[in-house]
Structure 1
């Protein structure tokens, strides 16, 4: 049917739940961070998604999706260190924007894998290099940049308010 192994289904399920918690954290708190339950679940499930993705070799050996998984783990680690060091404006930016960036990272394999499998028998995209897919991912990146700008302005406002108090 969708040509997914049981491990691939497990990996996909973790990713979908992670994205739901990430969106919930953004809508509820304006950011993704481990100080909230939804943010912490997002971070841990995203790490699990990236880790399990390292063991999926549908297209042969180590490839671009594996690189994205490693980059995701690195960004999550950097954001976690920054969140624990808290206090500085820079650390807040690294935490919030890093975690949000990993939500954008979910979009890339999510759209690629879904679009190259569905609808069954006549998938929406021909493959990862499909121009329409690249355009959609590009639009997703622009949405991330807009959201990151809003988050950065909110963080700055919060620091100015705290400094004035």
Structure 2
């Protein structure tokens, strides 16, 4: 199945967003909107989610559209907290979680589309219900939970050090 121009744009922007998130997570343990990689993740994920609304192999609203809208909402709330609720406080927990959750949700269609298309002519998976997709998403979900717990603990230490000063 060939990609449309919008599909190609969406895919390229999405890949850049995912790479940026991984860079942030490796460097600082969270998607940090103070960094260039964090800003790239935010804006490129926003554009990728909005362009996803124009992509569909079926007519009407589908689960992918709902997922894209949920990601936009998570990003918007995280950005609001980042901009309006400065300082190391309880809002950082929500901001960190929403950014990480948006990343996890972004990986669901990424895994499905990648595994259903690559390698061309002999894809890894036959479609969204293929067990390899479910297993991969489960592994990513477990990593998301572990990462969220680690982010929570790290933010708690940061907040405690901030209060002590």
| TM-score with structure 2 setting the length | 0.93
Any idea what SS the aligned residue of 2:30 has? coil
CA contact (8 A) 2:88 2:158 kept: no
More divergent stretch after superposition (67-76 vs 111-120): 111-120
The CA distance in 1 between the partners of 2:123 and 2:36, in whole Å, is: 36
The corresponding residue for 1:129 is: 129
The CA distance in 1 between the partners of 2:65 and 2:32, in whole Å, is: 24
Please give the residue correspondences for 1:79-98 in structure 2 after superposition, counting only pairs within 5 Å.
79-84=78-83, 85-87=85-87, 89-98=89-98
The CA distance in 1 between the partners of 2:33 and 2:158, in whole Å, is: 18
Q: Deviations over 1:48-87 (max 9, x none)?
A: 0000000002233221111110000000011111112133
The CA distance in 1 between the partners of 2:32 and 2:111, in whole Å, is: 24
| TM-score with structure 1 setting the length | 0.93
Please give the residue correspondences for 1:129-148 in structure 2 after superposition, counting only pairs within 5 Å.
129-148=129-148
CA contact (8 A) 2:29 2:151 kept: yes
Please give the residue correspondences for 1:1-165 in structure 2 after superposition, counting only pairs within 5 Å.
2-84=1-83, 85-87=85-87, 89-165=89-165
Total equivalences in the alignment: 164
Q: Gaps (5+ residues) in structure 2?
A: none
The CA distance in 1 between the partners of 2:77 and 2:109, in whole Å, is: 22
The CA distance in 2 between the partners of 1:163 and 1:123, in whole Å, is: 53
Q: Gaps (5+ residues) in structure 1?
A: none
